[in-house]
Structures are given as structure tokens and as C-alpha cells.
Amino acid sequence: MYIGLSSLRTRTHFVFPTLFPKPKSSIFSLLTSSTSSSMSYHKELAAAKKAASLAARLCQKVQKSLLQSDVQSKLDKSPVTVADYGSQAVVSFVLEQELSGDPFSMVAEEDSGDLRNDGAQDTLERIRVLVNDTIASENAYSVSPLSAEAVLAAIDNGRSEGGPVGQHWVLDPIDGTKGFVRGDQYAIALALLDQGRVVLGVLACPNLPLAPLGVQNSASQTGCLFSAVIGEGTFMESLDGSSPVKVNVNPTGNPEEASFFESYEAAHSSHDLSSSIANKLGVKAPPVRIDSQAKYGALSRGDGAIYLRFPHAGYREKIWDHAAGSIVVTEAGGIVSDAAGNPLDFSKGKYLDLYKGIVASNQKLMPSLLKAIQDSIDEKAASL
């Protein structure tokens, strides 16, 4: 099954009684009753939610009227749009404003290189206007409009290499650019590393319905903001503003009840390998294919029970593609590991060193899932 926006809009049986039942604890009460170690991320969490929400507003505006000229190709042939750059500039600007005075380091996907080339002036001007309009819409920052140079500098604030020492923000300004361009799912993914560990993650998913996948209808509201702080659990709220509700992964230990997520793009993850693993495990449902870390968000609230990702040989995963998503799932009670069950190590710079791929699930399914994965990998190797 492919979950794009169009198919999401046409489903009928809606059963999400109160979209946001009265929360048992709000983010505020939760943070005030938390342990001293996680208390220290209160300010960072508020800043991250604000930054990702504002960037989501910019992306939504662009996605509604995306022009062919808004989409460029990077050196590796992957797409990048004015919204990727604009989102990165907005997140960088908001974090600096909200956390001014603190040392600032950010590892982000985009850089200003191509925008400084001759012939990129029109694109840069479009980004500058988008960024300034978005910042002005917040009414909270009394700054004069940013110049083109200031926008380029904000984008380049994301040039850190990360690593095991100190704090580093990790940003994917649009994860799932291909989905974004297609009009489907994407996410703004922002995480904080502290001494090499992910301690906070925020995922803004503007096109993800608030109701669970498969049960929403055309009237369902879309736009979810997931947030997680280490030791505090995972919360979901509407991007339009609502009280956060705590979410948990699907607890099933029965593969027949479990559905699994994978990339929409077959070039990003082997669909054949996932299907062999699902068969071995006894999963009955067809794969749910969605772009971006929206998969981690959906998994954290129990829409499915498994996420499988097996990039083709030679591809190296980047930390910004998994940092926010992984803490959103682990704080909701799930497990995220490589295909051998090793935890992901975000302390090695921009890249993740992995065995074969990434897998996320709940505590009960993980042991048999890892076995099915290894059996499928061995079978594939023997058939070559």
C-alpha cells in the first residue's frame, strides 16, 4: 500500500473519536515534574518546536504552488528546492534567536554553495522573500528583513561536523524532498546531540493526518508535530496548535497484526528484501510506503509496528535522516537499530556506520524480526 496524500484523502471509515482527548499531562507539567538531567532541555525543546513549526509553514506555502524553477539538482543528482534552503534558514534563524548566548553548532543537510553561483540570484531572491515573510508572520522577532547575505549565512550555520563532544543540532530542513515535490509526505526533522547522544527530537509532518493512517477520511485534519526529550516520552500535537498527547508504539507481538513501513522510493531501500523479511516473519499486511521520517512519527503512535530500510550497496546513511525520528520512536517505547540489532551511533560525524540497514519496531517483535532479517540477508547472499 502506498500512502500518498491523494490516497489519504479518499479513505472513508473515520474512527478517531476525540482528536485530542484531554491530555493527562501537558508538555509543561511534564517538564516541570521531570528529572534534573532532562530539565536542562526545556528551553531547547521549546526553541526546536518553534523552529520546526515555522519552517513547516514556509514549506506548506511552497508546496501549494511549487514551480518547476523552484526545484534544482544537487551534484549527487538529488533534488533540492527553495523550500529546503528556506526551511534551513528559518530553523537556523529561530534557534539563534531563541537560544542566543549559548554556543551554537548545527549539522544540516544543505549549504549555500550552489546559491552563490552566477545564475542563482533569482532563486536566492525567492528564498530571501520566503524566509522574511515567514519570520514576519510570527510577529515575535523585531528584526529588519534579512539580506541575501544574511540568508546565506543562516544556511551555512549548519556546516558543523557534529561528533562526540558538546552539543550539536542536527537538521534535515526537508526530509523526503522527492515526496515534497510529488505533493506527498515530507518532514522537517530537528534533533539535538549532547555528547554524541540524541537527547531531543522534533518532527514536523505537515501532510500527515492527525488520525491514524488508514482510518482517516477526507475531512481529517493534517499536520503533526512529534517531539521527544530523552527520558520524557514522545508527544504529538497538531501543527496548528493543540495540547500535546503522549503517544506509544504499537505493542503487538503478533506479526499477523503488524504492518510495516518502508520508503516510497525503491531506490532508497530494497523493497524485495523487505518483502522477503515480512513473509518470513508472517506479516500479512502489504507494505505501507511513505516518504521521509513521517514513517518514524507514524510508528511512534502505533499506526504500524515495523519500519524496514535497506539502502542499496554503497549508500551511506546521514545522521539528519534518522536522529529526530529515532528518538521519537525510542521515547515512545520502540527500538531503533541496524540490521544486526546494534544501536545507531550518532557520534561519528555526518554519517552512520551501519550493518546493512535500519530497522525499528517494538520490544516484542524485535528479536524475531532481527532473525528474519538475518535469514533473508543470508538467503539473498546464497542466491547470488
Query: DSSP letters along 189-210, please?
Result: EEEEEETTEEEEEEEEEEEEES
How many CB atoms sit inside 10 A of residue 101's CB? 6
Nearer to Mg ion, 187 or 281 (CB): 187
- Binding-site partner at residue 110 among ligand A3P, Mg ion, none, CB < 5 to 8 Å by type: none
Q: Is 98 in the site for ligand A3P (CB under 6 A)?
A: no
Quote the least distance from Cβ 349 to ligand A3P, whole Å: 16
What is the enclosing helix (H) or strand (E) of 382?
Answer: helix 366-383
Q: Which residue from 241, 246, 263, 384 is spatially nearest to 3, judged by alpha carbons?
A: 263
Closest CA to 337 of 329, 287, 106: 329
Phi/psi zone of residue 161: left (φ > 0), alpha (ψ -120 to 50 degrees), beta?
A: alpha
Pick from 172, 105, 154: which is nearest to 318 by CA?
172
The count of chain residues that interact with ligand A3P, using the rule CB under 6 A, is 19
Q: Which three cell numbers stand for residue 98?
A: 531563541
**Shortest distance in whole angstroms from residue 157 CB to ligand A3P:** 18
Distance separating alpha carbons of residues 278 and 264, to the nearest angstrom: 16
Mask for 314-353, x = binds ligand A3P (CB under 6 A): -x--x--x--------------------------------
Q: Which of residues 40-79 bind ligand A3P (CB under 6 A)?
A: 78
Would residue 84 show up in a list of annotated catalytic residues for this protein? yes
Q: With CB cut-offs between 5 and 8 Å by kind, which of Mg ion, ligand A3P, none does residue 156 bind?
A: none
Contacts of 193 (CB under 8 A, 6+ apart): 162, 167, 168, 169, 170, 199, 319, 323, 346, 347
- In whole angstroms, give the CA distance from residue 202 to residue 235: 10
- Residue placing its CB nearer to ligand A3P in the complex, 177 or 222: 177
3-class SS at 305? coil
Nearer to ligand A3P (CB atom), residue 223 or residue 325? 325
Given 70, 84, 184, 303, the catalytic residue: 84
Find which of Mg ion, ligand A3P, none residue 315 binds, CB within 5 to 8 Å per kind. Answer: ligand A3P
Binding mask 95-134 for Mg ion (x = CB under 5 A): --------------x-------------------------
Distance CA 273, CA 293 (A): 20
Judged by CB under 6 A, does residue 375 bind ligand A3P? no
177 annotated active-site: yes
Please select the residue that binds ligand A3P; options are 96, 194, 265, 375, rule is CB under 6 A.
265
* DSSP letter string, 325-355: HHHHHHTTT-EEEETTSPBP-TTSSSB---S
Pattern 101-130, ligand A3P, x by CB under 6 A: --------x---------------------
Binding residues for Mg(2+): 109, 172, 174-175, 321
The contact set with Mg ion (CB under 5 A) reads 78, 109, 172, 174-175, 177, 321
The contact set with ligand A3P (CB under 6 A) reads 78, 109, 172, 174-177, 179, 263, 265, 267-268, 291-292, 311-312, 315, 318, 321
